[in-house]
Structure 1
């Protein structure tokens, strides 16, 4: 089976699975620990790591222009604008936007200059890409922590209204279930490329 076709099938299947679970309220059950929502963003991680370190995945990463894996992070600008709008309409708590404690938009804003000057013009040292990816993962982790700690869970730390339970419902599940895995996949693949000296 074609490798790209198989990847597309797996992605579509994953979207269908989390959509079905979200529609049926699976992720919105906040009565038990551990919370269910993190599974939506963590289950793809072993697959991503397996691809990154497999023989075929390594060959593919060697052939992929490294700036592409940096540029893909520009999507986080749109994500953060979406979160800011959700906060403006009182759908999510303020700490989840750049007006609060979520500074993930910086990753999106830096993606084009880092990709361009490190890998296209080659005027910035390659180490900048390493710093960018590690920083991007840290900012993503911070955003995820804010989301989890704002949910109506026993571990909730942010008690301002509204909570972040909206993210457990369809179609908002696509943020933690699809866009977050896409973001960390870009960072992991880029770091793997960096280690391969692509």
Structure 2
């Protein structure tokens, strides 16, 4: 998008970097994870700069190429023995702390709304309550793992609730986009996510947050059953 203040790009870039570094740390500094993630970011960045995602009239929508590959990859990990083994070795404390990035994301979404890049419904002034997950993440990290006072049921409930809030904003974003199945915000559709660098939100940050919840929920359920 044009005519956006550089501040928005800086805060969003910070969000991408924080997500990347915390994911890297949570995977015990796995080089394959870092290499694959960086290649994916570069690929999606190059594709978005070509204007590929701004074409919204085709079916199936090109936007699906941002969300679906990482989601399919994440789900596939649960069906692969080595994938499950890898996930069980990840640091859930860091994966919990990773959710602080949602504060930066919500600030960026609000600013994008002010510049008509997304509808109000996608911000914390609308029906997006995802910022609560980012605000509470440091508390859950500290009282859940550093100075453990929260039980596994509380940690599990927090992750499930935050996962539902994530699903809510993803569905809202998709149904607010100028795609053939748009249902919301016809007067102010969600267009910013089709442009660089904001394609990294649905293409990287959202799948990473989704992944962090799934891994943590899996670990909590396994611990509960033992």
| TM-based fold match above 0.5 | yes
Structure 2 Cα separation of the partners of residues 159 and 179 of structure 1:
23
Structure 2 Cα separation of the partners of residues 65 and 174 of structure 1:
24
Structure 2 Cα separation of the partners of residues 153 and 59 of structure 1:
39
- Would you say how many aligned residue pairs link Structure 1 and Structure 2? 196
Matches within 5 A, 1:28-43: 28-43=54-69
Q: 116, 127, 151: which is aligned to 1:101?
A: 127
**Deviation per CA, 1:5-50, whole angstroms, max 9, x where unpaired?**
2211111111122112212222222112332213312211232234
Matches within 5 A, 1:36-115: 36-51=62-77, 54-115=80-141
TM-score normalised to structure 1 length: 0.88
Structure 2 Cα separation of the partners of residues 110 and 162 of structure 1:
30
8 Å Cα contact 1:52-1:192 kept in structure 2:
no
- Say yes or no: does 1:171 pair with 2:222: no
**Deviation per CA, 1:139-179, whole angstroms, max 9, x where unpaired?**
11111111111111222122343311220111110111111
Structure 1 Cα separation of the partners of residues 88 and 168 of structure 2:
30
Moved over 6 A (4+): none
Q: 143, 148, 159: which is aligned to 2:174?
A: 148
Displacement of 1:52 in angstroms is 5.2
Two-structure CA RMSD over aligned residues (Å): 2.1
Moved more, 74-83 or 87-96: 87-96
TM-score normalised to structure 2 length: 0.78
8 Å Cα contact 1:62-1:196 kept in structure 2:
no
**Deviation per CA, 1:46-73, whole angstroms, max 9, x where unpaired?**
3223445655554554444432111100
The gaps in structure 1 that reach 5 residues or longer are none
2:36 corresponds to: 10
**Deviation per CA, 1:61-96, whole angstroms, max 9, x where unpaired?**
444443211110010011001111111232221111
- Say yes or no: does 1:157 pair with 2:145: no
- Say yes or no: does 1:136 pair with 2:166: no
The gaps in structure 2 that reach 5 residues or longer are 1-28
